[in-house]
Amino acid sequence: MTITVYGIPNCDTVKRARGWLEAHDIPYQFHDFKKAGVPASRLQAWLQAVGWEALVNRKGTTWRKLDDATRAGVADDASAASLMAAQASVIKRPVVEWADGGVTVGFDAAEWARRA
């Protein structure tokens, strides 16, 4: 199994993450949410691995632009999955599936160095 990085190419955190992998000569596949969408089967696996609270980016522009009722309606795996499937930009990035089967969200160079 290879490393798969899920995200949006123009996201600064995704750029840093991909740059880190390339600087350390670590091969990976990139899945662009904007072009390829959010894979439903993977979304369910991420929810099981890290939980919806870690996956929903409540600090991002997309979240802030949602109306109060929509934000209040995100309260569990099912409601979060529905929102993330409809609006991929609300997913905290990058989501990484590691070769060992682990899943992380966001970029932390120290943690990545331990995993790589």
pLDDT digits (tens, 9 = 90+) for 1-45: 699 999 999 999 999 999 999 999 999 999 999 999 999 999 999
* Catalytic residue set: 11
Alpha helices in 25-76 (DSSP H): 33-36, 40-50, 52-55, 61-65, 68-72
Classify domain 3-115 by CATH architecture. 3-Layer(aba) Sandwich (3.40)
Task: Find out whether 93 and 106 touch, Cβ atoms under 8 Å.
Answer: yes
Cα gap 7→5, rounded to integer Å: 7
* Token reading at 64: 């802030």
pLDDT of residue 1: 67
Whole-structure pTM value? 0.94
pLDDT of residue 20: 98
pLDDT of residue 45: 96
Kindly state the greatest CA–CA separation across the chain. 45
Contacts of 28 (CB under 8 A, 6+ apart): 2, 3, 4, 5, 18, 21
* Token reading at 86: 């409809």
